[in-house]
Amino acid sequence: MGSFCGSLKCKRDSSRKECNECLEKGKKIKVVFVMGGPGSGKGTQCAKIVQQFGYTHLSAGELLRKEINSGSENGTMIQNMMNEGKLVPSDLTVRLILKAMQESDNDKFLIDGFPRNEENLKAFENHIKIEPNFILFLDCPEEEMTRRLLSRNQGREDDNIETIRKRFRVYEESTLPLVDYFASKGKVHKVDAARPVEEVFESVKTLFSSTEEQVSAGYLLKS
């Protein structure tokens, strides 16, 4: 896999320092990791952040589901891992994230459901080499997440109680320690995600407003 040279336009297999071709070299790219348990509301809040703040939303799970539906040779393996609630090999997930970033013209990204374990993070550091600006952590009790997943109704095969339990164990064992790691670096903004959608978004909005210039649709049209 090629590493990311630092520009969204550059498709060269080159490290940032060595890439002389790229006119946009050095362009600052913002990355926010959106972490939280299955059903904590990551996708829901990301959609609202996109509307209000102009980020591009990349859900790792969504990218993997698209890969399955594209008829990729990895499709069956990904499907089997998902049905077991397991994490797919990180190089594959990171390759999909990198491709989506390169195909976008945007320079700010919400990366949702990623990283899920230490291997995910290492692969991101190796191949994409962008330090996340901060981590939005949606904190929600398992009981509430279970209720939400069982009534999500999006036809997802992994939204059944048996797989949900396995996904929670992976979350506890592999993802939460990573949240602690980022917290020790002062990077985590924790939001109580057990509240109604709009209340959660009020907190999320306050957080993003303090780190971002607001990109409302009206502002974009006028400029």
Residue numbers at the binding site for ligand ADP (CB under 6 A): 36, 38-44, 148, 152, 196-197, 200
The verdict on whether residue 70 carries a ligand-binding annotation is no
Structure-token pair, residue 69: 């539906």
Which of 6/36 has CB closer to ligand C5P? 36
Q: Does 113 bind ligand C5P (CB under 6 A)?
A: yes
Q: For the chain, how many helices (H) and strands (E)?
A: 10, 5
195 labelled as ligand-binding?
yes
Give percent helix, percent strand, percent coil of the chain, each to the nearest 5: 50, 10, 40
- Indicate if the alpha-carbon torsion angle 50, 30, 4, 115 is positive or negative: negative
> Least distance in Å: CB of 50 to ligand ADP?
13
Question: What letter does residue 148 receive in the DSSP assignment?
Answer: H
For the CA atoms of 25, 30, 33, 34, the dihedral, rounded to the nearest 10 degrees, stands at -140
Task: Tokens 């939005």: give the residue.
Answer: 136
| 39 annotated ligand binder | yes
Per CB under 6 A, does 60 bind ligand C5P?
A: yes
Annotated ligand binding at 120? The verdict is yes
Judged by CB, which is closer to ligand C5P: 129, or 152? 152
Residue 114 CB, nearest approach to Mg ion (Å): 11
CB under 5 A: which stretch of 6-14, 17-25, 34-42, 158-166 binds Mg ion? 34-42
Taking CA atoms, 49 is separated from 11, 65, 194, in Å, by 28, 22, 18
Contact call for residue 38 and ligand C5P (CB under 6 A)? yes
Binding status of residue 48 toward Mg ion by CB under 5 A: no
Question: Quick check: 188 and 135 in contact, CB under 8 A?
Answer: yes
Judged by the rule CB under 5 A, the positions of this chain that interact with Mg ion are 42-43
Residues belonging to the binding site for CMP are: 120
Residues belonging to the binding site are: 39-44, 65, 86-88, 113-116, 120, 152, 156, 167, 195
